[in-house]
Structure 1
Amino acid sequence: MALLDDVKSELAAFEGDSPAAIKAQAATMIRFGGGLHRVQNAYVIRSIYTSLEAAEWLRDTLRNVFGHEAEIKHQTRQTQNGPVETYIVLVTRNVVALALQTGLVDRRKQQVHGLPAEVVNGSIAQIKAAWRGAFMARGMLSEPGKASFLDIACPSEEAAMALCGMARRLGFQAKHRTTRTSERVTLKDPDAIERMLKSMGASRSVREWTGKRSDGETRGKANRLANFDDANMRRSAKAAAEASEKVQRAFEILGDNIPENLRQAGQLRIDHVDKSLEELGKIAEPQITKDAIAGRIRRLLQLAEKTEKARAAEGK
């Protein structure tokens, strides 16, 4: 989780956006973090984040850009994997006015099921900011060395479809999938993930993710090659042992009636079970090729088989 925290911290520190992009990011963070809630006869905005920097970015933006005060509440909850720290951004005053400003409710004061139209149809800078906000709120990133994915849990099917549509505008093919517990939007191609992280503004973190991923792929390739070589060695050793047993059986059947060149090849196979055919050819006197010694052993076994069949026919 350390790399994921680093990415969200870097995104929270991103600067240089236009006011429209900042508003798009804030609206998306609120929508994906929890959004608008009705409590008795009033509304509150209650959005939950696992990154303190993300929560602080939203609180400060609501104050400085929208003119609304928000507070951050810290909670710790126990899970099977240990304690999880969460940070709740809470707005309790002038909530409907803020929801109108961010586009989370329309002019009829109906909640937007996906994302505000001005965000989805906004500029490229707004699209990038919206993806940044969604990731800061509910994004996950694979650890280097494992199967690559960038995943965002979405509050609704409409929000997931909006996120996919905005990804297409940025040149990405994000996949929308429905799980038992949530709607999710996922990127799995490593190159696409790198480009998306850069588009969102995590240039420093993406270099770390890319470097560690490359190291992991190199180690994985080395391990696969080592396993492949080990498997080949086991297969070769097994084949050599089986060939040695067959040669011994051929010697028993043929007795002294074996051509000298076939006998020499067979004896080498019996005496050097751990050596390859190429190595047997090199220690033969005179030296012969791998194909030559393989051919002699094959003819020896064929001769033994032919002799055994002939004896069986005579005994009938």
Structure 2
Amino acid sequence: MALLDDVKSELAAIDNETSAAKKAQAAAMIRFGGGLHLIQKHIVVEAQFDSLDAAKWLQDTIKDVFGHESDLIQVSRQTPNGTVQRYSVRVLRAGGALALQTGLIDRRKRPVRGLPADVVSGTPAQIKAAWRGAFLAHGELSDPGKASYLEIVCPGSEAALALVGTARRLGISVKARQVRSSERVTLRDPDAIERMLILLGAPRSAREWTGKRSDGESRGKANRLANFDDANMRRSAKAAVEASEKILKAFETLGDDVPENLRAAGQLRLDHRDASLEELGRLADPPVTKDAIAGRIRRLLLLAAKVEKQRAQNA
């Protein structure tokens, strides 16, 4: 979670956007962080975040850009993993005016179920800001070393489709999917995730995420190679033991009727059971290739099998 917190803090610190981009980000944060509620025929705007920096950004923007006061409330929630702190931004008196200014309700006072039309069809800066707002509200990012994903939990299918369409305008392909009755938009390609983080305005976190992911992949590769080497060693040891047993049986079968070169090769295997064929070849007198050692052991076993078969036929 530490890296995710860093990403959201970096995004919430951006303060050089245009008024239109700030409005797009605020609209997305409200839409994905909670939305609009009707209380005694009055519209109340409320959005909840896991990042205090994100909540403060929205509160400041509601005041500086839209001209309304809001309340910032800390909420504690019990989960199986312990107490989680959430931060709620609430606009009571001017909720209706703010909803109209952000485009979350249309001129007929009907709620917009996706994102406002002027955001979806807006400039690249507005689209990036909307994605940034959605991520600040309900974004998730995989820990380095695990399966890569960047995901945003959406309030509905219309909001998910709006993110898919706007991401396409940024040149990034994302997928909408349903998980346990919740709509989600997901990126899984690591390069696309890095690019999206940079587009949203978190280049430092993008570099950190990519670096840690690469380190994790390197460790995973090293572990796989180590496991592969261990498996090869186990197979080699098993093969050496089986070969030694066959050679002992061949010596018993042939007795003194073993050609000297074949006996020497077999005895080398018995004396050096953990050695490779190449090492046995170097130990031979005179040294020979591993193919020569393998060939002599093979001929020894074939000769013993032939003699054993003849004896069985004569019995």
Query: TM (normalized to structure 1)?
Result: 0.97
Alpha carbons 2:254, 2:307 under 8 Å: kept: yes
1:236 corresponds to 2:240: no
Is the 2:113–2:158 contact (alpha carbons within 8 Å) kept by the matching residues of 1? Answer: yes
- Unmatched tracts of structure 1, length 5 or more: none
Deviation (angstroms), 1:46: 1.5
Query: Partner of 2:26 in structure 1?
Result: 26
2: distance between equivalents of 1:246 and 1:31?
Answer: 75
Are 1:64 and 2:64 counterparts?
yes
Report the Cα offset of residue 266 of structure 1: 0.8
Aligned partners of 2:253 and 2:117: how far apart in 1?
A: 88
Letter in 1 for 2:31: R
Deviations 1:66-103 (A, max 9, x none): 11111111011121112111001111112122111111
By how many angstroms is 1:283 displaced? 0.5
Counterpart mapping for 1:1-316 below 5 A:
1-315=1-315
Letter paired with 1:308: E
CA offsets, 1:114-143, max 9 Å, x none?
A: 111111111100110011001100011111
Residues of 1 paired with 2:81 and 2:245: CA distance? 55
Secondary structure at 2:88 match in 1: strand
- Contact 2:33 2:138 survives alignment (8 Å): yes
Segment of structure 1 superposing worse, 279-288 or 40-49: 40-49
The worse-fitting range, judged by mean Cα deviation, of 128-137 and 244-253 is 244-253
Structure 1 position 249, deviation (Å): 1.3
What do the CA deviations read for 1:4-41 (whole angstroms, capped 9, x no partner)? 01110110011221111110000000000010012243
Letter in 2 for 1:179: V
Structure 2 counterpart of 1:296, one-letter code: R
Aligned Cα RMSD in Å? 1.1
TM-superposed CA distance for 1:108, in Å, is 1.5
In structure 2, distance between residues paired with 1:79 and 1:310: 78
Query: What letter corresponds to residue 33 of structure 2 in structure 1?
Result: G
Deviation, structure 1 residue 190:
1.0
Equivalent position SS for 1:114: coil
Post-superposition CA distance 1:267-291 (Å, at most 9, x none): 1111111111111111011101011
Aligned residue pairs: how many?
Answer: 315
Mapped to 2, the partners of 1:187 and 1:85 lie a distance apart of 27
**Equivalents in 2 of 1:52, 1:181: separation in Å?**
28
Shift of 1:163: 0.3
1:192-212 CA-to-partner distances (Å, cap 9, x unmatched) read 111110000001111211221
How far residue 181 of structure 1 moved from its aligned partner, in angstroms, is 3.6
Structure 2 unaligned residues grouped into runs of 5+ = none
Instruction: Give deviations 1:207-241, integer Å, cap 9, x for gaps.
Output: 21122122212222222222211111111111111
Q: Distance in 2 between matches of 1:243 and 1:153?
A: 60
How far 1:107 sits from its partner (Å)?
A: 1.4
Q: Which runs of 4+ in 1 moved over 3 A?
A: none
Secondary structure of the structure 2 residue equivalent to 1:104: coil
Q: Which moved more, 1:23-32 or 1:94-103?
A: 94-103
Residues 149-208 of structure 1: CA distance to partner in whole angstroms, max 9, x if unpaired?
Answer: 111101101111110111111111111111114111111111111111000000111121
CA distance in 2, matches of 1:21, 1:61: 11
The sequence identity of aligned pairs, in percent, is: 69
| Matches of 2:27 and 2:156, distance apart in 1 | 15
Kindly state the Cα deviation for residue 308 of structure 1 after the two structures are TM-superposed: 1.5
**SS of corresponding position for 2:270:** helix
C-alpha distance in 1, partners of 2:35/2:292? Answer: 78
